[in-house]
Structure 1
């Protein structure tokens, strides 16, 4: 019975502490001031593990299909480039104003999305899942509400090639027919 009372007391203290923090306004939610290192680490680990688990069983199509690259390029230009940038671009008004800062997908070191292990299938799965479902409170839209899976895979195929594109190649691949 003592253990039950202790657990009940700890739960009540946890709820009370959480409510105090929530209603006091002491947590800074401003996008122009970063989280503490601990909070950032906790959020990053939670996000990465959630995406990895959710994307685990996604079947990856052949991403070398040229049609996917062309379709994905146009969508990337209009839906993604203002945050995730273009070749030879280091920042934009959107990328500077968001927190966490969106990853620059034009560079080859995208360790935050699976490249650190060299696992292209896992990376493609993660990209697909993130594009389709978005990420809460990050500015990353859930494009699966307006785009079918084929179109999302086209964006994944384009993102896979993006770090190797010159500005001129990018312009050709993102031009509207």
Structure 2
């Protein structure tokens, strides 16, 4: 009679369980059962997992870029406001106006970047704008825009948290 060591049995059980979970995940992925359409809401567990992965990845990869010394100058904030209005507003919205039909169709929804509750850390915003977010509608603007433009947009997003409709219009179009 052979006596099995409890640690070896536990290790074998864990390995077999992980293999079965991996096989199950692959079968589920190829089954087509999960609805990936943008017109349906994400499963809360999947949404939580993806958002947690996004947060961890963002904090792991972002923050090493050095902002310009004059980042929060009015000139940079205004330039960032112009870029935001022409490029970002369709998905992320502007104060006092309904979200565009493009923004309404994005799943998961793009965050309201000008909300007063946002932190919009410029280094994190710079990284997101420059590199984009995989499997969302957030493109990588680093492929088409200069770092200067991206920093200006990050400055605007940080400065404009909670901005009013009038304040937004003034930054974008100047005082009338």
Place the TM-score, normalised by the shorter chain, in its bin: 0.7 to 0.9
Match of 1:124? 122
1:82 counterpart = 2:80: no
Structure 1: state its 5+ residue gaps.
Answer: none
1:54 CA displacement:
0.9
SS state of the match for residue 158, structure 1? helix
Larger relative contact order (CA 8 Å, sep ≥ 6)? 1
Match of 1:58? 65
Contact map agreement 2:116 2:163 (CA 8 A) in 1? no
- Alpha-carbon displacement from aligned partner over 1:83-104 (angstroms, at most 9, x marks no partner): 1111212422122211111111
1:160 CA displacement:
1.6
Contact map agreement 1:95 1:102 (CA 8 A) in 2? yes
Match of 1:150? 148
Match of 1:22? 29
Q: Sort the Cα spacing of 1:64 and 1:150 in 2 relative to 1 into closer, same or farther, 3 A.
A: same
Of Structure 1 and Structure 2, the greater helix share is in: 1
Mapping of residues 132-171 of structure 1, within 5 Å: 132-171=130-169
Match of 1:100? 108
Match of 1:33? 40
1:5 CA displacement:
5.8
Q: How many matched pairs?
A: 166
How far, CA to CA, are the matches of 2:162 and 2:40 in structure 1? 33
1:125 CA displacement:
1.3
Between 123-132 and 11-20, report the one with greater CA deviation: 11-20
Larger Rg: 2
1:4 CA displacement:
7.3
How far, CA to CA, are the matches of 1:56 and 1:153 in structure 2? 12
How far, CA to CA, are the matches of 1:83 and 1:46 in structure 2? 22
Q: Sort the Cα spacing of 1:107 and 1:2 in 2 relative to 1 into closer, same or farther, 3 A.
A: closer
SS state of the match for residue 147, structure 1? coil
Over the residues paired in the alignment, what is the CA RMSD in angstroms? 2.3
Q: TM-score, normalised by structure 2?
A: 0.82
How far, CA to CA, are the matches of 2:48 and 2:15 in structure 1? 30
Q: TM-score, normalised by structure 1?
A: 0.81
Match of 1:73? 81
Structure 2: state its 5+ residue gaps.
Answer: 1-7
Write out the 4+ residue segments of structure 1 that deviate beyond 4 Å after TM superposition.
1-8
